Each structure stands twice: as structure tokens, then as C-alpha cells.
Amino acid sequence: MEAFYKNKLKNQNGFSLPEVIIVLLVISILIVAAIPQIQQNLQLYRLESVAGLLSNRLTETRLTAVKYNRASWLEINASGKKLEVWTTNKLNQPIQTKLAVTIPDNITIVPGSSSRVTFNSLGRNQANAINFVKFKLNNSTFCKSVSVSAVGNITSAPC
């Protein structure tokens, strides 16, 4: 009976310690090689999310203008990194309709971008021209542009 168990133990299959170490080493190398790509994709995601946030705020501003049948505008405060939706009340006094949204610290509004986008009561861009707001990821070449056409269409594209 004892010989049976010794034979059974000798015939067991498995991996040796050097084989396991080699597999773990290969997996570690693959993970280390993938980290820069993961970081780059994370940065792009952050930039895309800010462009989406701006597009949403512009849409809200446009809908506010149509809803209240009066001009509404989005203030883009580059120094304070805030987006604020404004309109006027019946006495023509400016009122903020939405709480300000803050842009993350690692994203900068590119100089020369529009600081205010105004929509008339029909939801059209009051400037009758294209407004651009460009965002740049700090310490990177990644850039995203959000534009508002003369008729009020909002689009987002890479710079």
C-alpha cells in the first residue's frame, strides 16, 4: 500500500518553481509596458469629459434661452476655471440659472477662446459667428475644441 502512494506522488503533474517565476516575470513586463498607454488614455478621457461637460452646459444655456424666451449666456471664466449659465429675469437683471461647474486643475482653457457664448430667444448664437472654446491638457499636446455655430449647433473636435 505504501508503494502505491509513493508511485502516485511521483506521477503528479504540475509546474516547477522556475516555470512559475518565468510566467510571472513575463506578465510583469507586459504590465510595465502597458502603463504609459493606460496613463495616456486616462488623460484623453479627462479631456473628453471636460469637453462633454462644456457641450452639456452650452446645451442647457441654449434650452434656457428658448424656455424663457430671452437671451441666455454661458460665462467661461478662464482664470477661475468656472462655467456659469446666466439669463435675465423679467426686470432684465442678470440671474445665474445653474450652479457654476469647475474645470479640473490639470486642464487649461487655451488663450483666445471665447469667454462668453450667448444664445438669443430662438436658441441661435447671438454673435452670428462661430464661437470656439479650446481646452488643453497641462504638460501635454492633447487639445479639444468645442464650437458653437451661428445657428446654435454645438460640436466637439480635436484641435
Ordered by where they begin, the domains of the chain are 16-158 (3.55.40.10)
How far CA 40 is from CA of 62, 140, 146, 154, in Å, comes to 33, 10, 21, 26
Confidence at residue 3, expressed as pLDDT on a 0 to 100 scale: 56
How far CA 19 is from CA of 9, 14, 15, 53, 127, in Å, comes to 20, 10, 6, 50, 69
* 68-120 per-position pLDDT tens digit: 999 999 999 888 889 999 999 888 899 998 889 999 888 999 989 999 999 99
Those residues with Cβ within 8 angstroms of residue 150's Cβ, 6 or more apart along the chain or in another chain: 124, 125, 127, 128, 129, 130
Question: Chain-centre distance of CA 26, in angstroms?
Answer: 34
Residue 7 pLDDT greater than 90, yes or no: no
* 117-132 per-position pLDDT tens digit: 999 999 999 988 899 9
Cβ–Cβ under 8 Å, residues 42 and 49? no
Confidence at residue 90, expressed as pLDDT on a 0 to 100 scale: 87
Q: What 3-state class would DSSP assign to 59?
A: helix
* 32-72 per-position pLDDT tens digit: 998 988 988 888 898 999 999 999 999 999 999 999 999 99
Cβ–Cβ under 8 Å, residues 147 and 132? yes
